């Protein structure tokens, strides 16, 4: 009988600790190097996570004295508006067939200058924040630059 009660207490305690764990994406966001997005300091990122956990508007002042806001957070993704022209989405990608806690992180940055000019860049990082790949997946900026170069200026 003592073993059964002990087992129930251990399971109850374990479930309570498990329920209080942060979503995995929150941990990845905390560990992200400041150099990847210098808009936000480490403390600003922590504040955003605290605000999201408290169901408050997760808006902070960035290093350029503008406003940055986390708009979505789940266990495997998040979305942020870093400035008026830059949004960022992060997604955890699992390494299929590998054991342990290995993952990679996909970061999609979308720059929107106006309705005709935008650029979307996808970077993939390893779990220790080494860049694995980087690709511009869509851009109207280059075509706009080429247009300007072709036009006569005199």
pLDDT at position 23, please? 52
Residue 6 confidence (pLDDT): 61
pLDDT of residue 62: 92
What predicted TM-score, i.e. pTM, was given to this entire model? 0.71
Give the pLDDT score at 103.
Answer: 81
Alpha carbon 115 to its chain's center: 24
- Pairing of β 131-139 and β 77-81: unpaired
Count how many residues are written for the chain: 154
> Which of 102, 66, 67, 73 has the alpha carbon at shortest distance from 89?
73
Identify the residue whose tokens are 């992180």.
Answer: 105
8: tokens are 């129930």
Phi, psi of 149 (to 5 degrees): -70, -30
Residue 114: what pLDDT? Answer: 84
Q: How confident is the chain (154 residues) per 10-residue block, as mean pLDDT?
A: 62 53 79 87 93 94 93 94 93 68 86 86 91 85 59 58
Label residues 109-122 b or e (16+ Cβ within 10 Å = b): bbeeeeeeeebbbb
* Gyration radius from the chain CA atoms: 21
């Amino acid at each position: 009988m003592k073993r059964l009660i002990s087992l129930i207490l251990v399971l109850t305690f374990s479930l309570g600790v498990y329920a209080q764990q942060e979503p995995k994406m929150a941990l990845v966001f905390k560990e992200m190097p400041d150099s990847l997005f210098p808009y936000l300091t480490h403390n600003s990122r922590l504040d955003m996570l605290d605000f999201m956990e408290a169901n408050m508007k997760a808006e902070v002042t960035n290093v350029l004295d503008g406003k940055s806001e986390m708009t979505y957070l789940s266990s495997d993704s998040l979305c942020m508006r870093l400035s008026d022209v830059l949004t960022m989405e992060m997604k955890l990608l699992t390494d299929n067939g590998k054991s342990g806690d290995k993952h990679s992180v996909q970061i999609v940055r979308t720059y929107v200058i106006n309705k005709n000019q935008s650029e979307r860049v996808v970077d993939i990082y390893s779990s220790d924040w080494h860049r694995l790949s980087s690709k511009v997946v869509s851009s109207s900026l280059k075509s706009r630059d080429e247009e300007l170069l072709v036009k006569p200026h005199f």
